[in-house]
Amino acid sequence: MQLFRKDQTKNSPEIILDPGGIIRIKGRSILENAADFYQPVLEWIAEYVKNPGQLTCIDISLEYFNSATAKVLITLIQRTSAVTFRNARLKVNWYYEDGDEDILERGEYIESVLETDFNFIKIKD
């Protein structure tokens, strides 16, 4: 597997997919067609879960994202959780800025939908 990287733009996040077990999404995700944008990410994950690292860490640090991105995030985390069937561990870190209750609540909602434990990490300015 190869390292996958997309640079951040004003409407799309930075994405780093490291075969060593790191999945990082950071920035803003206000894409008109989130499904198309994230398709290569989901394809990478489909390959990764066949032979994952012992620990897979998903770091999500989005300052804003639209509902289309929320759907993709649920799919992404759900598919990545398949690593647990291969005796690997999954850790989901959800970063939010101090005082940004909207992002925190959206993370809590996604956590409840997936029934997966998240680590909520407050970022202080």
Q: What is the DSSP letter of 87?
A: T
The whole-model pTM stands at: 0.94
Write the CATH number for 80: 3.30.750
Domain that holds residue 83: 4-123
Instruction: Compute mean pLDDT per 10 residues along the chain, 125 residues long, and list them.
Output: 96 98 97 95 97 96 96 96 93 96 96 94 89
List strands edge to edge, sheet with 14-18. 4-6, 14-18, 22-29, 55-65, 89-97, 118-123
What's the confidence (pLDDT) of residue 36? 96
What total number of domains does the chain contain? 1
What's the confidence (pLDDT) of residue 115? 84
- The values of phi and psi at residue 19, to 5°, are -60, -10
